[in-house]
Chains A and B, each alone.
Chain A
Amino acid sequence: MVQYNFKKITVVPNATDFINIILSRTQRQTPTVVHKGYAISRLRQFYMRKVKYTQQNFHDKLSTIIEEFPRLDDIHPFYGDLLHVLYNKDHYKLALGAINTARNQIGKVAKDYVKLLKYGDSLYRCKSLKVAALGRMCTLVKKLSGSLAYLEQIRQHMARLPSIDPNTRTLLICGYPNVGKSSFMNKITRADVDVQPYAFTTKSLFVGHTDYKYLRYQVIDTPGILDRPFEDRNIIEMCSITALAHLRSAVLFFLDISGSCGYSIAQQAALFHSIKSLFMNKPLMIVCNKTDLQPLEGLSEGDMKLVMEMKAEAMKTVIGQGGEATDDEGVLLTMSTLTEDGVMAVKNAACGRLLNQRVEIKMKSKKINDCLNRFHVAIPKPRDQKERPSCIPQAVLEARAQQAAEKEKRKTERDLEDENGGAGVYSASLKKNYILANEEWKEDILPEILDGHNVADFIDPDILMRLEELEREEGMHQVEDDEDFEMDGKDLTPEEQEALAAIRKKKSMLIQQHRVKKSTAESRPTVPRKFDKSREFTAKRMGRQLSSLGLDPSLAIERARSRSRGRKRERSPERGDAMDVDTDESNKKLRLRSRSRSRSMSRPPTEFVPGAGFKDSEQKVKAIKLAKKSVKKRNKNARRGEADRVIPTLKPKHLFSGKRSIGKTDRR
């Protein structure tokens, strides 16, 4: 279904703006700089480009205008006629024709001048030709100013036209002015149409939508029609006539039986008879409005007769559609929009009749055969008299029954609350579902502060588990020392046992040292031996080790000392003694670390302590990691701290000396 929506038409600029737009675009989008001394072909090309570009732009813009405005012959005749009534088909076509001509003429101008430009032999000549070409094109567009202004006005009006779908179910409301058409429209749809006591309040068609039996109906409100000869009708009335003529819809002819619209029933009947030719093949309904002022039964004889005549006419349309001749209920209806009495009945009757008519037409048409096979309900013919009801297994039935029972069995907290007095009175006991070792502890009150400490700081759900672990670890250390003697099954002499113990101890010491070294390797700087901070490599140590092996160390010590103490002998006499003490320090440190674990440090560093500033242990771990990461690089570079920016050698030799194998040595 094509939606007739004229909102998508681009704005039509007026002539001067149009020219300005195109010329400024040419000035911006084509090269602007050219000099006298360029080659003549380059000059020609420069100006030809401008002429062609301008022509192209004019062509494009004019083409969009021509294409976007609807062709009155190609759209639905309802819209074609409506646009003709509103804007005059001839003017419209003339305007578009003028634009088309201008477009072609601009093309010709551009072609001629490009041909002339080929003979241009100087910058001045080419430039004058370009100026002449652009000027000619702009003059042609200036002549279009009237057409462009007219089309812009039309476009603005067209965009505000109601989007009526000419092919769907439609109810058309017509009648004299002020009979109550717009009020009815407001009642059955959500359209907010102006209702005023003066005639011709509604000046154009208005559309609303309403539903009936799950289907959408368009309701079209028309301006009032006066009883005049066809030629004398003004544009507003012609709108309604067009709608009546072209839309396949149900027509509701409104009659004001109270005469408060200013026109008598005789006049309204006269109008009815003059436009009844337009009601051909449409389900027609006579609606008597304003019954609150004057009921139908209270009408005079003459008026009643007129109304019955109209009804007879309307009946003809019912018969014409093959409906029963006796069905006269849906033809003449009364209602009052003020009291809303009968409004819905009218709507339903109208919608029902329209639907029936449409369905009938569809059934008669050829297309129905394609649809019929889509909705066929097959009912098998019974071959004997046996009853065959639907079969449901027993288990399913039981399950269903159980589910139904369960739904009522379980008592929710809500039900409890309701029982015990409602929301404000009853407070649920939150502790009743606690899972505790002893049921009696459920109602106990937990203290918050004890001895000046927060109890919460010391609560740890895994405390017992941790205690076990810790004891196990400590126990292990002690056990390890004793274990050495029980490890082999062979008999050893006490000296051998001693030696074995010593060896094992040394080994474990080495292993532990190695482990410490490895774990700190990431953040420990690798420095050459001459800078050893831990003071491991001393002459005294060498002497001890050599003597333990059974060799005489004195010669070696002297040799080493003479080398190391070569120049600085005077300054550092005491270094040797200081070194002795340090050798055992490393061991001390290890021992200290293992023994100094007290209860207060029983928590691993990554454990979450509430109140320390971290959300959970994950965050704490992350923080510790970040801290270590920031220190790692500095430690690796053997910096003492953040501010240590010492460069040991400002001119390292390997960078400032030597020849290069390939390349120059200009820069060092």
Chain B
Amino acid sequence: MPQGDYIERHRKLHGYRHDHFERKRKKEAREVHKRSAMAQKALGIKGKLFAKKRYAEKALMKKTLAMHEESSSRRKVDDDVHEGAVPAYLLDRDTTTRAKVLSNTIKQKRKEKAGKWEVPLPKVRPVAEDEMFKVIRTGKRKTKQWKRMVTKATFVGPSFTRKPPKYERFIRPSGLRFNKAHVTHPELKCTFNLEIIGVKKNPNGSMYTSLGVLTKGTIIEVNVSELGLVTPAGKVVWGKYAQVTNNPENDGCVNGVLLV
């Protein structure tokens, strides 16, 4: 009675069909044509996906082919240039480098005075008020329109309690409140899921900063204690600034870049 290894056993006892290898070879040869027919006939989303996959395959193939051909051709090799090496005719000119450094510090000081910081996203699209708020009609005849509901993601903090509903002008719905952000360290290139401590500045205005609205470009403070950073003095760093790099209301999550 056939056991678990019946396929191998049959092969051992009876060998292959007399035309097995020829058929296999021919079938594999036909695969090329079949694939091309499929690529030409496939419509819609299937066709697009297939085309994308095929494009990636072809790019890879081209690269490997180029790599194999590399060894046959010869190329010029540049000598490594020393850092700070200077050609002979400039040997006694060294003042320029210092000047650059000086002007950099001057620029930084000017920026500090102006209140501009070096951030990954210096400019963001301004968000209009009617995009930010939705007008809520209240009252018996629904004629009062002084309430606003925030339509963007917000951060409210753990000790937040609402004002009495009758008096609260800005409604921040709980479904749009976020406590955690996915923050990327720009040098380590890895992302951590860190708690938000607070909203430092929203580029669209101080009102939004006080409301805690998270839009693209907002500077937030995140809890980095799990990264284990230490100051040169020996103190543990537990809060750092990060900038929001996406539209949290469209993606359902807050992504940011750590400001080192």
Which partner residue on chain B sits nearest A193 by CB separation? B3
- B251 proximal to A (CB < 8 A): yes
B195 at the interface (CB under 8 A from A): no
- CB contacts (< 8 Å) of B173 on chain A: these are 119
Question: Which residue on A lies nearest to B3, using beta carbons?
Answer: A206
Residue of B nearest to A203 (CB): B5
Q: Is B82 close to A, CB under 8 A? A: no
B250 on interface, CB distance cutoff 8 Å: yes
**CB contact between B1 and one of A116, A121, A160, A189 (< 8 Å): that residue:** A189
> Given B5, B9, B252, which contacts A133 in the complex, CB threshold below 8 Å?
B252
Residues of chain A with a CB closer than 8 A to B4's CB: 160-162, 204, 206
Are the C-beta atoms of B45 and A119 separated by less than 8 Å?
no
Q: A residues within 8 A CB of B249?
A: 116, 119, 125
Q: Are A125 and B250 in contact (CB under 8 A)?
A: yes
CA distance A485 to B244 in the complex (A): 133
- Report B3-50 residues with CB < 8 Å from chain A CB: 3-5, 9, 12, 45-46, 49
A292 interface contact, C-beta 8 A: no
Interface residue B151 (Cβ < 8 Å from any Cβ of A): yes
With A119-B175, A121-B151 in contact, do A113 and B252 touch (Cβ < 8 Å)? yes
Does B45 lie within 8 Å of A24, measured CB to CB? yes
Please indicate the chain A residues that have their CB under 8 angstroms from the CB of B46 in the complex.
24
Q: How far is the CA of A115 from the CA of B177 in the complex (A)?
A: 12
**Residues of chain B within 8 A of A128, CB atoms compared:** 247, 250-251
Inter-chain contact B134/A162, CB cutoff 8 Å = no
* Residues 154-176 of chain B, each 1 if its beta carbon lies under 8 Å from chain A, else 0: 00000000000000000001011
A194 in contact (CB, < 8 A): yes
Complex-state Cα separation, A1 to B140, whole angstroms: 73
Pick the residue among A161, A189, A192, A208 that contacts B9 (CB under 8 A). Answer: A192
Q: Are B5 and A209 in contact (CB under 8 A)?
A: no
Residue from A129, A162, A207, A208 in contact with B252 in the complex, judged by beta carbons closer than 8 Å: A129
Contacts A204-B4, A206-B3 given; does A119 touch B251 at CB 8 Å: no
Query: CA of A20 to CA of B46 in the docked complex: distance in angstroms?
Result: 10
B218 shortest CB reach to chain A, Å: 18
Contact at B1–A191, with CB atoms within 8 Å?
yes
- Cβ of B211 under 8 Å from chain A: no
Chain B nearest CB, measured from A452 CB (Å): 65
B253 within 8 A of A: yes
B1: A residues at CB distance < 8 A: 189-192, 207-209
Chain B residues with Cβ below 8 Å from A118 are: 175
A112: interface (CB < 8 Å): yes
> Which one of B5, B151, B247, B253 lies within 8 Å of A119 (CB-CB)?
B151
In the bound complex, what is the Cα–Cα distance between A206 and B45 (angstroms)? Answer: 49
**Cα-based distance from A20 to B49 in the complex (angstroms):** 10
> Which residues on A sit within 8 Å (CB–CB) of B253?
132
Contact flag A194-B9 (CB < 8 Å), given A115-B175, A119-B173, A162-B4: yes
In the complex, what residue of chain A is closest to B250 when comparing beta carbons?
A128
Residues of A close to B9: CB separation below 8 A: 192, 194
Chain A, residues 335-353, CB within 8 Å of chain B (1/0): the string is 0000000000000000000
What's the Cα separation between A276 and B238 when bound, in Å? 65
Interface string of A105-116 (1 = CB under 8 A from B): 000000011011
- Chain B residue total in the interface (Cβ 8 A): 21
Please indicate which of the listed interface residues B3, B12, B251 has the most CB atoms of chain A within 10 Å of its own CB. B3
Which residues in B have their C-beta under 8 angstroms from that of A119? 151, 173, 175-176, 249
Bound Cα distance from A204 to B8, whole angstroms: 14
Nearest chain A CB to B171 CB, angstrom units: 11
Distance between Cα atoms of A72 and B2 in the complex (Å): 26
Contact A121 B134 (CB under 8 A): yes
CB of A124 within 8 A of chain B?
Answer: yes
Which of B173, B176, B252: most chain A CB closer than 10 A? B252
Question: What CA separation (Å) do A204 and B4 show in the bound complex?
Answer: 9
Whether, in the assembled complex, A27 has its beta carbon less than 8 Å from a beta carbon of chain B, the answer is yes
B114 CB to nearest A CB, Å:
35
B13: nearest chain-A partner, CB-CB: A192
Quick one: which of A604-654 are within 8 Å of B by CB?
none
Question: When the two chains form their complex, are residues A124 and B134 in contact, meaning their CB atoms are under 8 A apart?
Answer: no
Taking CB atoms and an 8 Å cut-off, the chain B residues in 181-221 that contact chain A are: none
- Residues in chain B near residue A208, CB distance under 8 A: 1
A221 nearest CB across to chain B (Å) = 9
Q: How far is the CB of B104 from chain A (nearest CB, A)?
A: 40
* A129→B250 contact, CB < 8 A: yes
Q: Convert A178-220 into 0s and 1s, putting 1 for each residue whose CB lies closer than 8 angstroms to a CB of B.
A: 0000000000011111100000000010111100000000000
Query: Closest CB of chain B to A82's CB: distance in Å?
Result: 12
In the complex, which residue of chain B has the Cβ closest to the Cβ of A221?
Answer: B3
Chain B residue nearest to A207 in the complex (CB): B3
Smallest beta-carbon distance B1→chain A, Å: 5
Question: Chain A residues with Cβ under 8 A from B176's Cβ?
Answer: 116, 119
A189 to B46 CA separation, bound complex (whole angstroms): 53
Contacts of A121 in B (CB 8 A): 134, 151
CB <8 Å contact, B3 and A132: no
- Report chain B residues within 8 Å CB of A125: 249-250
Q: Which residues of A contact B12 (CB under 8 A)?
A: 194
Shortest distance between the CB of A19 and any CB in chain B (Å): 11
Which residue of chain A has the shortest Cβ distance to B175 in the bound complex? A115
Name the residue of chain A whose CB is nearest to the CB of B12: A194
Q: Which of B208-260 contact A (CB under 8 A)?
A: 247, 249-253
> In the bound complex, how far is the Cα of B251 from the Cα of A421, in angstroms?
102
| Distance in angstroms between the alpha carbons of A208 and B175 in the assembled complex | 64
| Given A24-B46, A119-B176, A112-B252 contact (CB < 8 Å) | yes
- Report the Cα distance A119→B151, complex, angstroms: 7
Complex CA gap A125/B1 in Å reads: 63
Q: A10-41: contact bitstring with B at CB < 8 Å (1 yes, 0 no)?
A: 00000000001000100100000000000000
Give chain A interface residues in 233-262, CB to chain B under 8 Å: none
- Closest CB in chain A relative to B212 CB, distance in Å: 16
Q: A132-B252, A194-B12 are in contact. List 16 more A-B contacts (CB 8 A).
A: A20-B49, A24-B45, A24-B46, A112-B252, A116-B176, A116-B252, A128-B251, A129-B250, A129-B252, A160-B4, A160-B5, A161-B4, A162-B4, A192-B3, A206-B3, A206-B4
Pairs A-B, 6 closest by C-beta atoms: A160-B4, A128-B250, A132-B251, A206-B3, A116-B252, A132-B252
Chosen A-B contacts, 9 in total, with CB atoms closer than 8 Å, are A113-B252, A115-B175, A119-B176, A121-B151, A125-B250, A128-B247, A129-B252, A206-B3, A206-B4
